[in-house]
Amino acid sequence: MAMTPILAMLLLAGPEPQKLPLGFRRELWEISVPVDRRPTAAQVALGDKLFNDKRLSKDDSTSCATCHDPKRAFTDGKARAEGLKKQVGQRNSPTVANALFNATQFWDGRAATLEDQAVLPITNPIEMGMDSGDEVVAKLKGLPEYVSAFKDAFGADISYEHVGRALAAFERKQVFGDSPFDRYLSGDAKALDASAKRGWMLFNSKARCQSCHSGNAVAPLFSDAKFHNIGVAAHKQDFVQLAGEALKVVRSGDQKQIDELALGSKFSELGRFMVTKSENDIGSFKTPTLRNIGVTGPYMHDGSFATLWDVMDHYNKGGLANPYLDGGMQRLGLTEAEIDDLVAFLFSLTSDTFAAVQKSELAKQKALKGKRPERDTDSATGKKNDLGDVGPTPDFAKKDPSNLGLYGPLPEH
């Protein structure tokens, strides 16, 4: 693979990033990256090569980048991931960008570390289809360039553990901030337009987004890292019956089995329950990061929402009722103008790196704005169902939206 300017820069770097983008503090990186996992230039270069190499799949057709395209903020633009032999899984491809800061990995948190997250797709029959880690190692040992690359990176022969470590080293370099919102908080009043500023205020008040997506200087992903049933999976499943069936099938602690069931079975809709077997987790999925949200659609764990307007319509009506709906879900009573402002704010969270892609995605989403399958104005405004009271409409003339929430000014870099 030809050396890109970015890769050349990484090879010259030391074991720590030279500079984190605006929006991320060095202290957060320090506590998020274990000392023995701080990537070296050789490990990052090896991980980059592995990430883009289709030979890690059974039939040389699929790489990590197939579902995590670096040009699309490490997503694929599809509702559900497509892997080996055009097989389509049950889940949407979550972004790898900024994943080093996640408390757990995947929509259901079934992987605790980046290393686990990196290798599970390689042996998943729907994704890359290798039979085992041993088969992966044997295949790589037959490729001379990898024999020397692993020696350079780890001073050891090829092992599946080191495959995971190399991929994780590459992923730990994928930090993307420098969004219009970051510049706004740093003092550039013109970085956000009036609509996005109103959206930021609504985000922290009437829209109640901050309940699960609060952002602050030590948690800049706009995620509480927890798992919630917001009713998306309730469109398809009888949760009570499905959970009973799963209890007879799922083997506690069997990460590989859970991984395969999550992507290739009806039990996928149970979400976090597959990992914990706790009734409270039925239909719950991890709160995703909102960073780069403008280019990581379609949205939700199953990619069922095409636009951010669909996302807002779902929350505006209070989700979809089911026995395990999160107690925080209630109608919002947002007007169409307020929804537009919130969407404008969400698009301001995308890194400048992906600005060109976002411009195209925004045009596509605006073209679909007239098709609103999740809209239920009667529920949102309280004309039907009993989904609580709405919050007060903020007075934009009295409060500066930059003073709301817990984010605060960003430090100098």
188 with 200: CB under 8 angstroms? no
| 11 class by beta-carbon count within 10 Å (0-12 exposed, 13-18 middle, 19+ buried) | middle
| Helix and strand numbers, DSSP H then E, in the chain | 18, 2
Q: How big is the chain, counted in residues?
A: 413
349 with 292: CB under 8 angstroms? yes
Question: Which residues neighbour 164 within 8 Å (Cβ) at sequence distance 6 or greater?
Answer: 115, 116, 118, 119
Gap between the Cα atoms of 167 and 295, Å rounded: 23
200 with 402: CB under 8 angstroms? yes
Gap between the Cα atoms of 408 and 312, Å rounded: 25
DSSP assignment of 206-226: TT-THHHH--BTTBTTS--S-
Q: Which two tokens stand for residue 402?
A: 């930059």
Which is catalytic among the residues 115, 127, 171, 361?
A: 127
Gap between the Cα atoms of 410 and 407, Å rounded: 8
Residue 177 CB: number of other CB atoms within 10 A? 22
DSSP assignment of 62-93: --HHHHSBGGGTSB-SSSS-B-GGG-B-SS--
127 is catalytic: yes
Strand partners, 286: 227
Gap between the Cα atoms of 50 and 248, Å rounded: 37
Q: Which residues are known catalytic residues? A: 127
